[in-house]
């Protein structure tokens, strides 16, 4: 099963709303893969002992993991962090997130610089490639619990747009050629 993704409208209204176009313009898993975005659906009820998750971690080299609970009562500096997550940015490494509970949105830019909204809920594991411009927001339920995975020691540094001079950005754009 895939995840739901769609092109966003350009309204400045509450970031937590779906922001679908009318009529909706959905994207397929293949469309997302062409941007380097990959998805797995797992059973989050058994994440502590899930052989499928173990297999992915082993194959992809996701040696690091921690869990973040994004809710006003659990996350220190909740408002500031949410603001930061919603600033358009890139990372020098892949961003790998597994939703264990609740739901949230990841927004990514397509090749024409249009925003795509990806709806994530319990059991969705997503990888965003290094160098892709993206952002994150909670939805109107205001809660999610996510596993953060990383190859080796984690580097959380986000570079806000514009960050076009980074080699990783150029490499990412080159990877889109012909896809
Ligand atoms: C679901 S983890 C919080 C979001 C985050 O770490 C990030 O980098 C968003 O782009
Ligand atoms: Fe990010």
Q: What is the ipTM of this complex?
A: 0.96
At 178, the pLDDT band (50, 70, 90 cuts) reads confident
On the question of pLDDT at 41 being above 90, the answer is: yes
Nearest atom in ligand 1 to the alpha carbon of residue 146 is 1
What is the chain's mean pLDDT, rounded? Answer: 97
pLDDT of amino acid 30: 97
- Cα(165) to ligand 2 centroid in Å equals 18
- Cα(177) to ligand 1 centroid in Å equals 27
On the question of pLDDT at 2 being above 80, the answer is: no
pLDDT one-digit tens code per residue, 13-33:
999 999 999 999 999 999 999
Spell out the domains of the chain, with CATH numbers in brackets: 18-176 (2.60.120.10)
Q: Going by CA atoms, what residue is nearest to atom 8 of ligand 1?
A: 85
Dist CA 94 CA 129 (whole Å): 5
Would you put residue 24 in left (φ > 0), alpha (ψ -120 to 50) or beta?
beta
Is 71 labeled as ligand-binding? Answer: no
* Run of H or E including 137: strand 134-138
Give the bridge partners for 65, in sequence order.
149
């Amino acid at each position: 099963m895939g995840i739901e993704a769609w092109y966003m409208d350009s309204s400045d209204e509450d970031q937590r709303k779906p922001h679908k176009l009318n009529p909706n313009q959905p994207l397929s898993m293949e469309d997302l893969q062409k941007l380097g975005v990959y998805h797995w659906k797992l059973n989050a009820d058994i994440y502590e002992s899930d052989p499928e998750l173990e297999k992915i971690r082993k194959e992809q080299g996701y040696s690091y993991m921690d869990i973040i609970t994004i809710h006003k009562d659990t996350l220190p500096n909740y408002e500031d962090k949410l603001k930061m997550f919603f600033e358009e940015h890139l990372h020098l490494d892949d961003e790998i997130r597994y939703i264990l509970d609740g739901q949230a949105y990841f927004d990514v830019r397509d090749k024409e610089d249009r925003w795509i909204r990806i709806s994530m809920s319990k059991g969705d594991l997503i990888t965003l490639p290094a160098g892709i411009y993206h952002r994150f927001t909670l939805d109107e339920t205001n809660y999610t619990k996510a596993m953060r995975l990383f190859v080796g020691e984690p580097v959380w540094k986000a570079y806000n747009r514009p960050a076009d001079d980074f080699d990783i950005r150029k490499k990412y754009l080159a990877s889109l050629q012909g896809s």
